[in-house]
Every structure is written in structure tokens, then in C-alpha cells.
Structure 1
Amino acid sequence: MNYISRALEDRLYKYEKTYKSILVTGARQVGKSTLLKKAFPDRRYVSLDDPFLEQQAREAGDMFLTLNAPPVTIDEVQRAKELFRYIKIKCDESEEKGLFFLSGSQPFHLMQNVSESLSGRIGIIELSGLSMRECMRDAFNSHFLPTMEYVIERKKTLKKRENIWEIIHLGGYPELQDADKEWNAFYADYVKTYMERDVRELAAVQDLTAFRQFIIAAAARTGEILNFSAIASEIGKDVKTVKNWISILEASGIVYLLEPYTSNVLKRAIKSPKLYFRDTGLVCYLTRWLTPETLAYGAMSGPVFETFAVSEILKSFSNEGLDYRHFVSYYRGRDKKKTTEDGKLQELESEIDLIIEENGVLYPIEIKKNTQAKAITTAAFDVLDQIPGKRRGMGAILCNCPQVGALRENILQIPVWYI
């Protein structure tokens, strides 16, 4: 399989000249090791997946770094947290940049060790699965905004995927870009490895059968407001256990919790986060939608399409080196909004699937799998006009429409492949 260039490569090259250490983190199998090997082929590479090297790094960190002197890349570094103190010493002893490249698949534990040992000495990069742009070999690397300025720039390099459901169903793990790789087998191995290694390391989960039922129940709720009680009832566990297991999925990069927009003005807003899986292929495997065709016409098509769009937007921020957590939120109110279409009164939920905030401007986005967008679905966008000190910018419906168009003066329809 040919290597697919990653959008973060340029940032890696800049960080090499800026920081003494660089940490590349992200979920298992998103391509961290491959990225570092391809971007820096001449660096010494060691992996703590080797039990001997792991033991040496944990029990004799100083000797380990003497035998593996910088510049060096250390993979699966979370396996030896004891090593961080010695990396700090080496960094303090030298003025050179790019001494240590570190990577690992447990962001939560890694970040704890980094904040304790290497604060101010390390540049941190989060690598996601392949974005749609990367899969299409599209070098465009600006974060998504629903504006005409963005659309005009995006169109210059845009490459449309003929069947968007194929890329949604396949998922973003680099290994699956090999046409000879069997989809079912990959995800079966992924889930087995994830539960047997990462889950046991992140928390003392003994009942892996129950955890498997939990992750399937969670996948079936992607795109929904997180309801711990409903999941607990389905799998026969208490709410405390479900909350702990959700934190495991979040810490290992399997899911993302989209927080609600907070404002004192929006008193009736729901405060719970929305649950999104990071990879739509994994969702399809867990919920048994085994082909793109059955997915496109199945009951999960809407939530999976929304999950895909949100995931691609998050990647557009992180691939530009921006922390998407500071930019995105959602809104759902407890009140229903009455609106008229074609002379008929309709009652709609006050909901905005995604809000992007930038420079004091709020950009509301609805996400629909349909090929035709309707402006009526954006009725809730008006709620953002109530927020003092903020301005509502251009809104959009992301959908499967054939081209960009104006639904109203301040609302666009944008094909999902424009992300």
C-alpha cells in the first residue's frame, strides 16, 4: 500500500525546529508510527511494544537513553511513564531542538505524564484517522467554516467522491486504504486488540463481554445526547460503571463528547454532551451495517452521516494545528419552535447540530443526509441572536446536495465533501 501524506507533516517539521521534544498522540492504528517513520526516515526508532525495551525503559531509564541517544523516536511511550523524568533531564542538558519524538495511543495517561514532566519543553500533535481530504490526496488544509470565502477557496482543489457512503462505511484507518485488506477482519482484530490491551491498561475492566455489549450500545447512540441511564439499563450495569467506561472510550480516542453551548441567556438549554464516535467505519462494524448500500438506506444512516460530518470538521481543525475543543459546541433547547412552511404550521425542536465559534462569531450548522436542503430546518438558528457580545455569522446545512447554494440570505446549503 502506498503511503498517504498526512496534513500534519508540515507542522511536524516546524515543531522539530521549535521544541526539544514532540509528542504525537491519537487512537490506536491512526498512523502515528508510520507518520514519524516516513517524515523522519533517518532517525533512530525504538518501540516499547518490545517487552525487553519496555522493561529497560521502566527500570533503567538513564541507561535506556544512553543506549538510545537522541535524536530518537520512541513509540508506545505510555508503556514506561518512568522514562519521562529522564527525557526531561536530557532536554534540560541540551539546547538542541528535536531531540525526542514520542508517540502513544493513550492520550489521557500521556498528557498526565507530559504535564508533570515536560511542560514547556514539548510540542503536542494529535493525529486522527485519515480525513476525506487526505484520502482524496487533496492538499487543502484550512479548517471548515460555512462561509462563501471558505467555499471559494475550497473549490480550487476540491475532489468529489462519487459515492460518499463508501468512504463513510470504510472509515479512516490508514490500513483500510489497502484494497486487499478485508474490512470485517480489520475491525474484528481492532476491537479484540483494543479491549484486550488498551481497556485493561486504562482501567481494571474484568468483564470484557459486558464491555463489548457496552461499546455496541454506545455505537448505536452515536450522534445522540449522552444518556448514561439508558445505556446502563440496556447492558445491565449501574450508571457509575457506564460513566467510567465512557471515560475509557474518550481517553483512548474512540469517542468524542461534544459539549453544549453555554450562555446564561439560554436558560432552557440541555446541558448534557452529545456522543460521537471518531470513526464511522467502527460504528458500522459494531452496529452490523456491513455494506455501504445497506448503511445508506438503513435506520442508522442519519446518525452515521452526522457523525462523519462532525468528525471531518474536527479533523479540519486538528490538522491545521488548532484545538477543536475551543471552537465547537451544539445547542438543544427544551422548547419547541413553531414555524410555517407552505402555509402549514410545523413544530420543530430547538436544535443546532453544531456551532463553530471564531472571533466572536457563531456559525450554526445543521447536518442532514438528504440530497435536498430545506431552510425550515434552520429555524433554531435564531436563538443565537439572543447572546450578548456575540454575532451570528453565516449558517449552513451540510448535506448530500449536488452543489453549494443560498437557501436564504444568511444560510447556505453545502455538500458534505466541501469539508
Structure 2
Amino acid sequence: MKRENFLQMISDGFLVNPIVAILGPRQSGKTTLTRQYINTIKTEKPIHYFDLEDPNDLAALKSPKAVLENLKGLIVIDEVQRVKELFPVLRVLVDVVNLKQQYLILGSASQELIKQSSETLAGRIEYIELPPFQYCEVKNLEKLWIRGGFPRSFLSVNDSSSYRWRESYIRTFLERDIPNLGIKIPAENIRRFWMMLANNHGGILNASDIGKSLSISHTTVRHYLDILVATFMVRQLYPWFENISKRQIKSPKIYVRDSGILHNLLQIRTNRDLFNHLKLGASWEGFALEELIKHHNFRSQDCYFWSTQNKAEIDLFTINHGKRIAYEFKFTDSPKITPSMRIAIEDLKLDELYVLCPGNKKYQIEDKIIFCGLEKYLESY
């Protein structure tokens, strides 16, 4: 599947910077996207590819300056987080040694986790986050919801194969990928913590309660959470604060970012399992939230929820092109206007409030409040 939007982002990135970084979770399609990009330019410049999971390439880049300084054209470095010492060398190469080089680097951790890149390459690098598949690419909302967007999960021959692939993915992530980042934590500890977050999916983080349940400190809870956020497994949605007198929630909400991974952690194998599960509404909320963020390419730091101590709340709040827009995600065929929505319109001075539900209908029920099927919204906006 050709992901044209991201191919264009790479091309645009190289118009401004000599280094483009594609960051995203393992198996989200970074390597495939890179090969597609190479196919679009292969007649224009030399291509050099280093995969740092290949022992030979990893050994070669133990002396990166000697290997890279005489190369010209596009230099691809896959799984760059395995050799963080590369970043100071890349700065020297793009600044001094060879102005005829471009670097496309791929990583399975956020720029916050690969701190050297943000500190060393400031002003020289463009970051692109590549998520798993989204609705605009696959046009099958129900299948995307149950299986999630990881290509091998979504494209599996049936739900059973998809579920088994995700189970293997989770095991590999815990037992190999996290240790490869230099993080020394027993895999079972992270799994238990991740499963607890899945059971609290869409809820407010209470680090003390989770710590007591797992017999770990609240600081360890924060450390585990930081790891899962930095590896694109979990979204931490922070609260928005208005200068109003009402007491507001200050802790973040937590979501497992990929709905398929969430369903494995909750042992949901089929649509029937999902529709009979207590977390059905929370699963829909997280799935719709992620699709919306990917659809609009919202930055994480521009996305908030809003909640007050008297239970008035909004699932997602953002300011987009100067407009204050809020979203509620409801798994229902007949959504209703709630007092909470009217309070939010007044307190947050909203321009629009969308209530996104299953289905393909759209209608405005009241000034500033629009009910819309998620599929209809993703097709229309």
C-alpha cells in the first residue's frame, strides 16, 4: 500500500533540511515507506542503506565518520536508536564534510527518547511520525477498529491470524525491543503494567493506585509510563486548564494508541467479543480519538481533554486555525445533548462541538453542536 501523504512529507522535509527522521512504532511501515521513497528517486542520486539490526552494518557504523564521509546521495540508516552516538557525527557531516549528502533515518522511539537527535541536530532535521494505517488509507472502519492499524495485523487473512500476530508483536516488543533501547526492566513487569493501563483505557491516571496494585512506587509507575509513551504504545492526554473558578482535573488520561493492541491486552479476539465487553465504549473512544488525531495531523502537544470536579468533561479539545473545537466520542445510535456539553460550550468558549458516533450520518442538533458518524466525518473534513 503506497502511503502518498507520507512520501510527500519526506520530499518536503528534504527541501528544508538535510536530515529527515521517520519515527514510529515497530512494524508500522517505516522500512516499506522508505523503499517506496527510494523507488521514486533511484535514478536521481546514489542510495546507501544501513540496517542497524544487521550485524555487519552495525559493526561498520562503529566508526561512522570514516564510513559515511565519502558517500554521496541519500544515506538511509534504519533502527537508528541502536547507535545514539551517530547523531554528533551526522551534525559534523551535514555541516562540514559533505553538502551533497541527505540522511533518512528511521527510529522506533520518539525524539524525546533519542535525546541526542533533538539536542545535536537542531535546525538540521525534520521529524515525521509514521503511525500504523488509518481510515483514509484502508477505507474499512470496522476491520481497522477490531484489528488495529499495524499493517501485518490489518492485512492478515482472518481475525484469528491477526490476533496471533499481535500477541507475538507484544511479546517481541517487551522481550527484545525495550532492552534494545538500553532499558533494563523485566518484561513481565512492563506487561502487567500495560495490561493495567488497558483496563483503565480512557481513564484518569492514578499513579498511586496503580503502584499499590503492582507493589511499585508511583515514580516507577511514571517511569514505565514514559517508556510506553516514548515507544508510541500509549497516549498521554493532558488536561486543558481555563482561567475559571471551577476545580478541574489535573492528571492525564491514558489510552493504548492502537486499538488492535488494546484488544489483545483485554483478550478481545472478535467483533462479538468486543460488543459484549465492558470496555466497548472506552475502546470506541480511544479508536475514534486516534483516528481524528491522525486524520488532522494534530500534534500531541496540541491535544487536550477537559474535565471538572463536578463531572463536566470533553474527550478532546484543540485550537485549530484559531477556532476552539471540542469532540465527544459516544458509542450509540442516538446521541443526546448533555448538560456537560452546554457547560463546555460556555466555559471553553467553543466554536464547534462534534459528537462522533458509529454510522454515516451527520446533523446539527443545536447551535455549535454537530452529531456525526465517524466515517462520515473522516470522509468530509
TM value normalised by structure 2: 0.90
Name the SS of the counterpart of 1:7 in structure 2: helix
Name the SS of the counterpart of 1:44 in structure 2: strand
Name the SS of the counterpart of 2:365 in structure 1: strand
With over 3 angstroms needed to count, the CA separation of the structure-2 counterparts of 1:93 and 1:283, relative to structure 1, is same
Corresponding residue number in structure 2 for 1:340: none
Structure 1: runs of 5 or more not aligned? 137-160, 336-348
Q: Is the 8 A contact 1:4 1:135 kept in 2?
A: no
What is the Cα deviation at residue 96 of structure 1? 4.6
1:192 aligns with 2:205: no
Name the SS of the counterpart of 1:107 in structure 2: coil
In structure 1, what is the Cα distance between the partners aligned to 2:282 and 2:13?
Answer: 37
1:51 aligns with 2:55: yes
Q: Is the 8 A contact 2:327 2:353 kept in 1?
A: yes
Q: Is the 8 A contact 1:356 1:362 kept in 2?
A: yes
Q: How does 1:366-377 map to 2 (within 5 A)?
A: 366-376=328-338
What is the Cα deviation at residue 68 of structure 1? 5.5
Corresponding residue number in structure 1 for 2:131: 128
One-letter amino acid matched to 2:3: S
One-letter amino acid matched to 2:320: E
What is the Cα deviation at residue 281 of structure 1? 0.1
In structure 2, what is the Cα distance between the partners aligned to 1:315 and 1:187?
Answer: 21
Q: How does 1:279-318 map to 2 (within 5 A)?
A: 279-318=258-297
Of 322, 325, 328, which aligns to 1:363?
325
With over 3 angstroms needed to count, the CA separation of the structure-2 counterparts of 1:195 and 1:179, relative to structure 1, is closer
Q: Which moved more, 1:280-289 or 1:62-71?
A: 62-71
Of 315, 324, 332, which aligns to 2:307?
332
What is the Cα deviation at residue 295 of structure 1? 0.3
1:408 aligns with 2:370: no
Of 211, 226, 234, which aligns to 2:190?
211
Corresponding residue number in structure 2 for 1:29: 27
In structure 2, what is the Cα distance between the partners aligned to 1:184 and 1:67?
Answer: 46
In structure 2, what is the Cα distance between the partners aligned to 1:15 and 1:123?
Answer: 6
Q: Is the 8 A contact 1:6 1:134 kept in 2?
A: no
Q: Is the 8 A contact 1:108 1:252 kept in 2?
A: no
Corresponding residue number in structure 2 for 1:144: none
In structure 2, what is the Cα distance between the partners aligned to 1:253 and 1:25?
Answer: 9
Structure 2: runs of 5 or more not aligned? none
Q: Is the 8 A contact 2:20 2:127 kept in 1?
A: yes
Q: Is the 8 A contact 1:214 1:235 kept in 2?
A: yes
One-letter amino acid matched to 1:85: P
One-letter amino acid matched to 1:17: L
In structure 1, what is the Cα distance between the partners aligned to 2:188 and 2:250?
Answer: 31
In structure 2, what is the Cα distance between the partners aligned to 1:352 and 1:234?
Answer: 28
How many residues align structurally?
369
In structure 1, what is the Cα distance between the partners aligned to 2:70 and 2:152?
Answer: 32
What is the Cα deviation at residue 47 of structure 1? 0.5
Q: Is the 8 A contact 2:259 2:283 kept in 1?
A: yes
Of 82, 100, 104, which aligns to 2:103?
100
In structure 2, what is the Cα distance between the partners aligned to 1:302 and 1:216?
Answer: 18
In structure 2, what is the Cα distance between the partners aligned to 1:267 and 1:92?
Answer: 52
In structure 2, what is the Cα distance between the partners aligned to 1:214 and 1:302?
Answer: 22
1:173 aligns with 2:176: no
Corresponding residue number in structure 1 for 2:218: 239
With over 3 angstroms needed to count, the CA separation of the structure-2 counterparts of 1:109 and 1:52, relative to structure 1, is farther
> Deviation per CA, 1:117-149, whole angstroms, max 9, x where unpaired?
21111111111111111112xxxxxxxxxxxxx
In structure 2, what is the Cα distance between the partners aligned to 1:194 and 1:39?
Answer: 27
Q: Which moved more, 1:248-257 or 1:223-232?
A: 223-232
What is the Cα deviation at residue 205 of structure 1? 3.6
What is the Cα deviation at residue 38 of structure 1? 0.8
One-letter amino acid matched to 2:156: A
Q: Is the 8 A contact 1:261 1:329 kept in 2?
A: yes
Name the SS of the counterpart of 2:372 in structure 1: strand
What is the Cα deviation at residue 99 of structure 1? 0.8
What is the Cα deviation at residue 23 of structure 1? 0.6
What is the Cα deviation at residue 393 of structure 1? 0.6
In structure 2, what is the Cα distance between the partners aligned to 1:264 and 1:409?
Answer: 24
TM value normalised by structure 1: 0.82
Corresponding residue number in structure 1 for 2:343: 382
Corresponding residue number in structure 1 for 2:241: 262
In structure 1, what is the Cα distance between the partners aligned to 2:232 and 2:355?
Answer: 27
Name the SS of the counterpart of 1:123 in structure 2: strand
Of 249, 258, 265, which aligns to 2:228?
249
What is the Cα deviation at residue 266 of structure 1? 5.1
In structure 1, what is the Cα distance between the partners aligned to 2:329 and 2:361?
Answer: 15
One-letter amino acid matched to 1:334: Q
